[in-house]
Structure 1
């Protein structure tokens, strides 16, 4: 068990979005390839783009051009990032699906009185639009996108901002994510962290130094009980 396991049931659970609650890689791939086409570059595969997700749209754009053999200067990166913002706004939910067990697990946690927050590096408006599309927005007492704070994950800032909105201190909260970015942000915020298999991590989940690895979202309530009993 990891270093910062809470004592008792958490009062709040913070969720990452991409690769944790939703499988958005197909939509993000479509948007990235539309952007690359504007620049006369060939498309990337779904597998390639999946490995680029997790640190915000700008970092994804930078990685996409680098993978295409055309690394961008800072000015060109800013230009491409602005273009991507408009493109991705048209690719939020067309190919995106909920991860198995997402809706049911959120409903169960919400019904048990646990406060829920969303902490993502995706832009705030895009994150909220996706939650509304899947009828999940009402579950969350805090939705923090990458542009809602100066520094996104792996900085602790978005987690701490969400917890401030929820009125819960870090030691009484839990982070649920799928990547090293989520684990680093949770550690920096002093929040225990559960990592889900099947997300967008670029390294094996066992190497992420999470407090617990969970097979899927449907197993999360049982995982919370396991962590509580081990605290």
Structure 2
């Protein structure tokens, strides 16, 4: 595959932050006496907004209560998230390989941009990434195409020369809505069968297949 622009999801695509995510959800859920939610259930919500995830896990639909949970989670994430996040083994070599080809590389995530950047500054040179669009940068979260379209405009890229890489059906929907090609990677909780229900160029076992 030879695209000019590669846009990546973050959680379960570039990095495994599930340990930190589960820990933060567990603290908030336990505080409010939601004691029966499993780690598996929490992991299945990764990639959705925090409000969506808390609603799925608790059944709560009241926007104010969900917003309160989100704020509590964010405070816990400031403490627990980055120290419990690990890049996948082929993340850095893949990103550097794509840049070496002259490609533009960015991240589109529901995770906060500042948290992604603060984590990656240990691993990547400053200004290595051409763009990072986080949850605080858009009005409508994925699968809205807003983040991807913003990135394309910022980078001067066209949909035809862009590949979006993610691990979830939310990512696949995002790519479809933005009318860009999609590559699925099986780093997360979503199966190949689930991803194949959406338009895709490839379903990969790992990110290294992008630069083979």
| TM-score, reference length from structure 2 | 0.91
Among candidates 186, 198, 203, match of residue 213 of structure 1: 203
1:55 aligns to 2:48 (yes or no): yes
Are 1:161 and 2:154 an aligned pair? Answer: no
Question: Which aligned pairs between 1:167-186 and structure 2 lie closer than 5 A?
Answer: 167-186=156-175
> What pairs up with 1:71-220 in 2 under 5 angstroms?
71-135=60-124, 138-201=127-190, 204-220=194-210
**Tell me, which stretches of 5 or more residues in structure 1 are unaligned?**
1-7, 223-231
Say which of 42, 45, 48 aligns to 2:38: 45
Distance 1:62 1:85 in 2: 16
**Contact in 2 for aligned 1:61/1:84 (Cα 8 Å):** no
Aligned length: 211
Q: Secondary structure at the match of 2:200?
A: coil
CA distance in 1, matches of 2:175, 2:202: 13
Q: SS of the counterpart of 1:89?
A: helix
Which portions of structure 1, spanning 4 or more consecutive aligned residues, are displaced by more than 6 angstroms? none
What is the CA–CA distance in structure 2 between the aligned matches of 1:135 and 1:43, rounded to whole Å?
Answer: 39
**Cα distance in 2 for residues equivalent to 1:45 and 1:79:** 21
In the alignment, structure 1 residue 16 sits paired with structure 2 residue 9: yes
Taking the aligned partners of 2:187 and 2:155, their CA distance within structure 1 comes to: 28
CA distance in 2, matches of 1:43, 1:33: 10
**How far apart are 1:215 and its partner, in Å?**
1.3
Determine the structure 2 residue equivalent to 1:228: none
| TM-aligned CA deviation for residue 218 of structure 1 | 1.1
User: Residue 107 of structure 1: CA displacement?
Assistant: 0.7
2-side partners of 1:108 and 1:29: how far apart? 32
CA distance in 2, matches of 1:91, 1:137: 24
Cα RMSD (Å) of the superposition?
Answer: 1.9
Given that 1:16 and 1:182 are in contact with CA atoms closer than 8 Å, whether structure 2 keeps it comes out as yes
Q: Greater shift after overlay, 177-186 or 130-139? A: 130-139
Question: Comparing 135-144 with 46-55, which one deviates more in the overlay?
Answer: 135-144
Between stretches 36-45 and 87-96, larger displacement belongs to: 36-45
Q: Give the structure 2 partner of residue 3 of structure 1.
A: none
Alignment gaps of 5+ in structure 2: none
